[in-house]
Amino acid sequence: MRAWEKNGVDVADEIKSIIGKVLKIEPGTVKAESRLSELAADSLDIVEMVYMFEERFDISMELEARESSFAVKIKRGAQVQNVELDTVGDIVDAVRQIVDAKVG
């Protein structure tokens, strides 16, 4: 169990709620397998979501926006990995990794 989740915070639920808030849709309709493109999230929506994840989890995310896809840079020790954000599940995994790396 992660440090965050010990305090009763479910990262996945928090993220779905933020996505719902940004896209003005019911958080219940946001599933792990939902693709960002299916949710009609545009680049400004993604930038706003990332801002809200940063604020909520007190982390910093390095976002790389391309024409129609998004990636974040995640540090693992000395290595930096580009992680594609295609689905809501991808976002949850990326945020968890960044939170974990921070909490240690």
Partner 1 sequence: MHRVVVTGIGVVSPVGLKLEDFWKALVEGRSGIGPLTLVSTGRLNGCIVAEVKSFDPAAHFTDKQAHLMDRFAQFAVVAARSAVSDAELQISDRLALEIATVVGSGTGGHSTLDDSYLKVYGQGAARVHPLTIPRLMINAGASHVSMDLGLKGPTWAVATACASGTHAIGQAFHMVRSGQAPVALAGGAEACLTFGSIKGWEALRVLSRDTCRPFSKTRSGMVLGEGAAMLVLETREHALARGARIYAEVRGFGMSADAAEVTAADPAGEARAIEAALKDAKLGAENVDYVNAHGTGTEMNDRIEALAIYNVFGNRAAELPVSSSKGVLGHSLGGSGALEFAATVLALHTQTIPPTANFEAPDPACMLDCVPNVARQTPIGIAMSSSFAFGGLNAVLVAGRA
Closer to partner 1 at the Cβ: 22 or 74? 22
Under the binding rule (CB under 8 A), the answer on residue 29 touching partner 1 is: no
Which strand ranges, in their side-by-side order, compose the sheet holding 62-65? 62-65, 70-76, 79-85
CB nearer partner 1, residue 29 or residue 60: 60
Name the phi and psi angles at 88, rounded to 5. -60, -40
Q: Is 54 in the site for partner 1 (CB under 8 A)?
A: yes
Residue 89 in contact with residue 33, Cβ under 8 Å? yes
Is 47 among the residues that bind partner 1 (CB under 8 A)? yes
User: Per the structure block, which two tokens stand in for 57?
Assistant: 């989890």
- Residues near partner 1 (CB under 8 A) are 24, 44, 47-48, 51, 54-55, 60
